[in-house]
Amino acid sequence: MAEKLGLFKNFLSCHVCSETFRDPVSLSCNHNFCSSCLQKFWEQAKNQKCPICKRKSSKDCPDVNLALKELADSFAGRQKAGSSEIKKSREKKLTVVCRKHEEKPKLFCVDEQRAVCPVCDFPHHQSHKVVPVEEAVSDLKKHLESDLKSLQDKRNKYKQVEETYNEMIQHSKKQLLSTERQIRAEFNKLQQFLEEEEESRLAALREEEEQKGRTISREMKMIEERNKYKQMVKTYNEVREHIKKQLLSTERQIRAEFNKLQQFLKEEEESRLAALREEEEQKGRTINREMKMIEEQISSLSDSISAVEEELQKHSVPFLSSYKDTQSRARAQSSVSDPQLVSGALIDVAKHLGNLSFRVWEKMKEKVHFSPVILDPNTASGWLCLSDDLTNMRRQDAKQQFPENPERYIKHTNVLGSEGFRSGKHSWEVEVGDHPDWIVGLIKESADRKGERSALPKYPIWCLWHNSGKYTNGDGQTVKVKKSLQRIRIQLDYDRGEVSFCDPEDMTHIYTHRDTFTEKLFPFFSIGEAGDAKTSDIKIFQTEM
């Protein structure tokens, strides 16, 4: 019977929607479909072919097959009636507790938490607490109402946390904009400082060039009035031309140094803004993850609340047959721990803005170096080439044309430090590598820079001299060393009258000059030809700030 019913149902089912026909139509190929299903199929396929055999229909709107419609409607009505009967049967089962005595139960065993049949079950429950069903339902609903209140309180807590997270999201957006603005403002101040400092130094350079130009012009006028000293006039002209070259070269190097610093500030600003945005995105993801969990929990709690409210609407026996599962789910939901806000979810503004300018300057110090001695190009021999930062020197093959100003060395490849010392302790290191010919030390300000150089005491120099593998002091005495020196530390204690040399790699003492100093002393450097040595430059060792 069931098999026949299945075949009949198949016959009355549309091949498009798989449901019982609604307003069925028949095509010329004898295949049947719901009218609406066929039209939708044709619209999507953009043709009028049968969905089964693909034969083209001869009609745009086939007529409804009335006989088939009546049969399908009748079958659908019976199916619905059958479902209704099944539902009623199930409801009836819910209202009874005993198959033998099909009547609504009137008693409820509190100990076993179930309804009992007054005929079959009651003798077995005489030692138990048995109460009327209405009383039991009333008590159980009070417990369930208490569970409902717990669920609602729990949901309110989750909603409060959800609201707080929404406030935090909005606050984080404001924090991002405000912190970005303040970072840009701080870097603008730093950029402004660099621009002002650059202009200040350039102005000082131009002022010095103008002042010295006026001095030279005044001196030249006096010489021209005397109508003599033609050689001196020539030298002053050379000095004036050289000053113009110095101005252009120094301006270019000042601008280059400040460009490096400004470029560093731009990169540092972008780096810090990127770090800020990355933190905002990362913390945004954290909050969104937490929010999703909160929303899922709220949804689950809302489902449980609806289930409890629906359960409370049920009457006695249906309520008794299903309340336990609902109550178990409700209590399990209520036992879930209260939601906790994640700490540290806001942007760490203090990390991004605290001592910002100071920390940027500290980082900038890592990019720059300090040299305790700066070479003075106005003292350098024409055979010497100095680096742009005035810390390296090397001897070159062609002599540069420099004016013979009083400070400059003419006959020897010497150069002095730009700053002299009259007191205190001072030290610096010089990298010499394997260069075969060099002199490092200190010299009196009054020492002759135009004539021959000789040793102490006739020539006021305190030095260490290396030539062809031999080390000597300023007096021409041989100095013994354990190994070939790659770097030398020079230490001056002016007040005690000491100039010392040591190897900074292991702090081995090399030699100490002792004298009484009465005038300014300048760092002294001299370099010969490098020959086949790997090292062609002598470098003043720079230290990080």
Position 275 confidence tier, pLDDT thresholds 50, 70, 90: very high
Using one digit for the tens of pLDDT, what is the confidence trace for 178-205? 999 999 999 999 999 999 999 999 999 8
C-alpha closest to that of 529 among 475, 484, 468: 468
Q: So what's the pLDDT on residue 492?
A: 95
Q: What is the percent of the chain with per-residue pLDDT over 70, rounded to a whole number?
A: 86
Q: Answer yes or no: same fold for 7-76 and 375-541.
A: no
Q: So what's the pLDDT on residue 391?
A: 92
Assign 493 to helix, strand or coil. strand
d(CA 103, CA 165): 55
C-alpha closest to that of 30 among 81, 2, 61, 65: 65
Position 119 confidence tier, pLDDT thresholds 50, 70, 90: low
Q: Taking the CA of residue 50 as centre, how many other CA atoms within 13 Å lie in the half-sphere pointing to its CB? A: 17
Contact call for residues 441 and 525 (beta carbons, < 8 A): no
d(CA 201, CA 181): 30
Using one digit for the tens of pLDDT, what is the confidence trace for 320-342? 778 888 888 888 888 888 888 88
Phi, psi of 442 (to 5 degrees): -135, 155
Chain mean pLDDT for the chain: 83
**CATH number of 375-541, picked from 3.40.640.10, 3.30.420.40, 2.60.120.920, 2.102.10.10:** 2.60.120.920
Position 225 confidence tier, pLDDT thresholds 50, 70, 90: low
> Residue 48 has which token pair?
């009028």
Using one digit for the tens of pLDDT, what is the confidence trace for 278-329? 999 999 999 999 999 999 899 989 999 999 999 888 887 788 778 888 888 8
Q: So what's the pLDDT on residue 386?
A: 93
pLDDT at 174 over 90: yes
C-alpha closest to that of 32 among 45, 46, 20: 20
Contact call for residues 487 and 431 (beta carbons, < 8 A): yes
Domain boundaries, the chain: 7-76, 148-366, 375-541
Position 132 confidence tier, pLDDT thresholds 50, 70, 90: confident
Put the strands of the sheet holding 414-416 in their side by side order.
414-416, 521-527, 437-444, 461-467, 470-473
pLDDT at 110 over 80: no
**N residues, the chain:** 545
Residue type, 427: S
Per-residue CA distances from 155 to 126, 159, 291, 312 (Å): 43, 6, 14, 19
CATH architecture of 7-76: 2-Layer Sandwich (3.30)
Q: So what's the pLDDT on residue 436?
A: 92
Q: So what's the pLDDT on residue 16?
A: 77
Using one digit for the tens of pLDDT, what is the confidence trace for 339-374? 888 888 899 999 899 999 889 988 888 777 788 999
Using one digit for the tens of pLDDT, what is the confidence trace for 39-98? 888 887 888 888 888 888 888 888 888 878 888 887 777 655 544 444 444 444 444 455
d(CA 143, CA 163): 30
Position 495 confidence tier, pLDDT thresholds 50, 70, 90: very high
Looking at residues 388-407, what average pLDDT do you find?
A: 88
Contact call for residues 440 and 524 (beta carbons, < 8 A): yes
d(CA 500, CA 492): 7
Per-residue CA distances from 66 to 27, 34, 41, 123 (Å): 14, 12, 22, 63
Q: So what's the pLDDT on residue 318?
A: 81
Position 448 confidence tier, pLDDT thresholds 50, 70, 90: confident
- Residue scoring higher pLDDT (169 or 455): 169
Q: So what's the pLDDT on residue 215?
A: 84
Looking at residues 377-383, what average pLDDT do you find?
A: 91
Position 238 confidence tier, pLDDT thresholds 50, 70, 90: confident
First to last CA, the chain: 99
pLDDT at 1 over 90: no
pLDDT at 221 over 80: no
The 10 Å Cβ neighbour count of residue 84 is 10
> Residue 2 has which token pair?
């069931």
Q: What is the percent of the chain with per-residue pLDDT over 90, rounded to a whole number?
A: 38
pLDDT at 227 over 70: no
> Residue 99 has which token pair?
């198959």
Q: So what's the pLDDT on residue 80?
A: 56
- Residue scoring higher pLDDT (228 or 219): 219
